[in-house]
Structure 1
Amino acid sequence: MFSIRAAGYGLRRAALGSRELRRGIVTDADVEQARKYCLNQLRHGDYEAYLIRQFVPRSSRDAYDALRTLNLELARLPETVSNPTIGRFRMQFWRDAVNSTFAGNPPREPISLLLSNAVAALASKAGPSSANSLKFWLLRLINIREQNMENRPFTSLSSLEDYAENTDATLMYMTLAAMPLRSVQMDHLASHIGKACGIVAILRGIPVLAAPSQPIQGPSGASVASTRNPALLLPLDVMAEVGLKEEDVFRKGPNADGLQDAVFKVATRANDHLITAREMLQNLQAGRDAGHDYEHEGETEHIYPKAVDGGERASADIQRGFGVLLEAIPAGDYLQRLENVNFDPFKVKSSWKLPWRLWQALRRQEI
């Protein structure tokens, strides 16, 4: 989304000389301002990413900040636009911005400027193939966000997993591409952790999306419209299995019959992915096989060179990219807090222990 803050940034830059305003000329001052903007957005809008970024290699931090800030903008669109058509225009803006940025001609807005700096550094260090991989994942993220602009329920638990693979797991693939780190083991771990994170995001959104929106007041003080319709994104097959109805959640909130049963079933699938990732990590750290094959191997951007020293290489890759795997910690932390309140998402409180748990996970090399 092209925010008012970003627009203001562009207007301030408009006061500079014409040479600096030419598209494609990015100064150190531009990058520093963009860096501050993205960091501030994460601090206030995605605190978990703001914490995890500290454990991502410094050389990849600009890419991480830009990508996570863009993801935040995309995720907010369904709630900040008056109708899906406007949202799709915004999505197209970001798609065009990404194409221009990777072509070396970024729009003068903070996310694109910081991403342009990261892409240039990545291409210089690792060649154009790594930058192309990053672009592939980023465009896939934009496309899947656009497909879900209308906040419709997922048809099945499997379709929710596919969504999580194409959003949260894809964000992790992008971080690995920015390092750059191409590893079947790391992608395999990222897939399971990302699916858990994506499912958790849907559960965390229930109290927000299912609540009635605030009405828009007209000049006379009368309510003239609502900003959005309430939504419940739990899979329809799970809701049917437990007898949960959308309307009951909208009217009764946490007292809707079957809500906790449905949340339990969905949360269990997220926890299963975390358990699988932990078992895989332990196997790989011990020099053993991961335990099962990666279901996406051979797909676009999931083709890997044959490793001669597979066990040692996997251990080295995990050590190098462990900060990326820390995305599992906030997801596991939420699931534990959800279980503590008997799977009532309306009762889950924020966690003040998360920074300590991230540090412990890094120190112990456990997720």
Structure 2
Amino acid sequence: MIDYFFTRAHQASSRSSPAQARAFFLQSRKQFSTTVARRVAPVPLESSEAKSAQTYCSNLVRKYDSPSYTLSHFIQPYALPAYLAIRAFNIEISRIPDIVSNTTIGQMRHQFWKDTINKVFDGKPPSEPVAVLLASYMNDTGIRLNRTWFQKIISAREQALLRPGFTNVSALESYAESTYSTLLYLTLSALPLNSLAADHVASHIGKAAGITAVLRGVPLLAFPAPPNSHSHNPAGMGLPTTRNRQRIVNLPLDVMSQSGVREEDIFRNGGNAEGLRDAIFNIATRASDHLITARTLARDIRSYQTPNHDFEHIHDEGHDYAAQIGERQSEEGRKHELEKAYGAIMGPAVSTQMWLDKLQKVDFDIFHNSLRTTEWKLPFVAWWRNRQSTL
């Protein structure tokens, strides 16, 4: 039924103006909210419904985000349902640009997920696998995840759909913080762990992962393949695969200007565009700097030292460390919290570093074929890092 709704919405938008398409959506959404997205009470994690939802999320992550699936083995078993639901949620949101024909339909899809998350936190999840699994986890464990962080991810992705590209590196880092860092905050909160020290480390790892994800997407956006053809964006929701995607370069404009890179030159010459490797080097260096900072923070915390800089997002919505700020937290307490968070933050740090290493080996040629292959060494490197307790 969900497939049918969005197919009808697409058909309406293809023959109507955006205003007419929006009117169609608003009219249909009333029926959608009462019949298609049937609200159900949270079910136990051991129920067949929750197990089916977890299987769906697990298969989705394994097929379209294999690094996260591989790294799920380092997540505490009791938190695995939440981890899979959070990662599946991220896949569903990130693939929206590939399953819609225009931004109006994209906004509809983002609104669907905003409503879905609100229903989950209201205790009336729709019969959608991610929603069912999230609601079941919170209901069974009593652990409350953060509604604000889910909505923040959706909003950041929606803004990227409406206004692709970044004016400067700071805008790119802000996007990475609002998406990849926030995914890590959600994972940590599912443990549950509300830790200033752990979130500080996770913020830098998430920024590195987000910047790297944008770099990985440069060839795909500059030379888009047929819709739904690349690994992290599966076909979905029953939409026709006839979308004509606009070619864009989403590198920060300030870096492109400093390196003398022109968008038209990239479209003509690909990886041989003048100044492109310099621009990629500068951006990759920023991602690497965040990983170095995260390792330094972790090392200081483990050696009972106070971090040499404050967490810049300490006052952002969703971050509440009143108890930890009001009274001096012991160095032993910070170390214990970091150890509890280790499985959740180690994996993204390792996978991000491995891809940056591959990029360096090909002299920052972002179009090199080796950068789009599966990293078969990831399980072994992650296992070794886990034994050494290093990021």
Scaled by the length of structure 1, what TM-score is found? 0.87
Tell whether 2:100 aligns with 1:81: yes
Whole-angstrom CA distance in 1 between matches of 2:315 and 2:63 = 38
Aligned to 1:146: 158
Whole-angstrom CA distance in 1 between matches of 2:136 and 2:60 = 18
- Within a 5 Å distance, the mapping from 1:267-306 to structure 2 comes to 267-304=284-321, 305-306=323-324
Whole-angstrom CA distance in 2 between matches of 1:309 and 1:183 = 10
Aligned to 2:187: 175
**Post-superposition CA distance 1:38-60 (Å, at most 9, x none):** 00000110011101211111221
Tell whether 2:345 aligns with 1:334: no
Whole-angstrom CA distance in 1 between matches of 2:139 and 2:130 = 14
Whole-angstrom CA distance in 2 between matches of 1:113 and 1:22 = 10
Whole-angstrom CA distance in 2 between matches of 1:25 and 1:269 = 43
The 3 A distance-change label for structure 1 pair 3 and 314 is farther
Aligned to 2:176: 164
Task: Report deviation, 1:301.
Answer: 2.4
Q: Decide which of 66, 69, 72 is 1:50's aligned counterpart.
A: 69
Q: Is the 8 A contact 1:78 1:150 kept in 2?
A: no
Structure 1 residue runs of 5 or longer lacking an equivalent are 8-20, 216-224
Whole-angstrom CA distance in 1 between matches of 2:292 and 2:3 = 39
The 3 A distance-change label for structure 1 pair 103 and 205 is same
Task: Report deviation, 1:365.
Answer: 0.7
**Post-superposition CA distance 1:157-211 (Å, at most 9, x none):** 0100000000000000001111110111101001100000000000111121111
2:338 partner amino acid? I
Whole-angstrom CA distance in 1 between matches of 2:163 and 2:389 = 37
Task: Report deviation, 1:91.
Answer: 0.5
User: SS of 2:383's equivalent?
Assistant: helix
Q: Is the 8 A contact 2:42 2:139 kept in 1?
A: no
Task: Report deviation, 1:26.
Answer: 3.1
Q: Is the 8 A contact 1:43 1:50 kept in 2?
A: yes
Tell whether 2:123 aligns with 1:111: no
1:227 partner amino acid? N
Whole-angstrom CA distance in 2 between matches of 1:141 and 1:226 = 24
**Post-superposition CA distance 1:238-286 (Å, at most 9, x none):** 0011111122222221121111111100000000000011111111111
Whole-angstrom CA distance in 1 between matches of 2:75 and 2:163 = 31
The 3 A distance-change label for structure 1 pair 212 and 301 is closer
Task: Report deviation, 1:303.
Answer: 2.6
Whole-angstrom CA distance in 2 between matches of 1:360 and 1:180 = 25
User: SS of 2:161's equivalent?
Assistant: coil
Whole-angstrom CA distance in 2 between matches of 1:311 and 1:81 = 49
Aligned to 1:325: 345
Structure 2 residue runs of 5 or longer lacking an equivalent are 8-37, 228-241
Whole-angstrom CA distance in 2 between matches of 1:50 and 1:25 = 25
Whole-angstrom CA distance in 1 between matches of 2:168 and 2:42 = 47
The 3 A distance-change label for structure 1 pair 36 and 317 is same
Tell whether 2:203 aligns with 1:191: yes
Whole-angstrom CA distance in 2 between matches of 1:248 and 1:213 = 19
The 3 A distance-change label for structure 1 pair 3 and 262 is farther
Deviates more, 1:292-301 or 1:172-181: 292-301
1:23 partner amino acid? V
Tell whether 2:377 aligns with 1:357: no
**Post-superposition CA distance 1:92-140 (Å, at most 9, x none):** 0011010111111111111111111112134x2x5xxx43xx2111111
Task: Report deviation, 1:226.
Answer: 5.2
Task: Report deviation, 1:63.
Answer: 1.1
1:89 partner amino acid? M
Aligned to 1:38: 57
Aligned to 2:236: none
Task: Report deviation, 1:331.
Answer: 0.6
Whole-angstrom CA distance in 2 between matches of 1:298 and 1:139 = 17
Structure number with greater CO (CA < 8 Å, separation at least 6) is: 2
The 3 A distance-change label for structure 1 pair 22 and 291 is closer
Aligned to 1:136: 148
The 3 A distance-change label for structure 1 pair 185 and 3 is farther
Task: Report deviation, 1:3.
Answer: 6.0
Whole-angstrom CA distance in 2 between matches of 1:362 and 1:68 = 21
Whole-angstrom CA distance in 2 between matches of 1:139 and 1:25 = 20
Whole-angstrom CA distance in 2 between matches of 1:50 and 1:239 = 34
The 3 A distance-change label for structure 1 pair 339 and 301 is same
Scaled by the length of structure 2, what TM-score is found? 0.82
Whole-angstrom CA distance in 2 between matches of 1:166 and 1:299 = 11
The 3 A distance-change label for structure 1 pair 156 and 309 is closer
What is the total number of aligned residue pairs between the two structures? Answer: 337
Q: Is the 8 A contact 1:287 1:315 kept in 2?
A: yes
2:82 partner amino acid? A
Q: Decide which of 229, 242, 245 is 1:228's aligned counterpart.
A: 245
Deviates more, 1:206-215 or 1:356-365: 206-215
Q: Is the 8 A contact 2:148 2:317 kept in 1?
A: no
Whole-angstrom CA distance in 1 between matches of 2:328 and 2:152 = 32
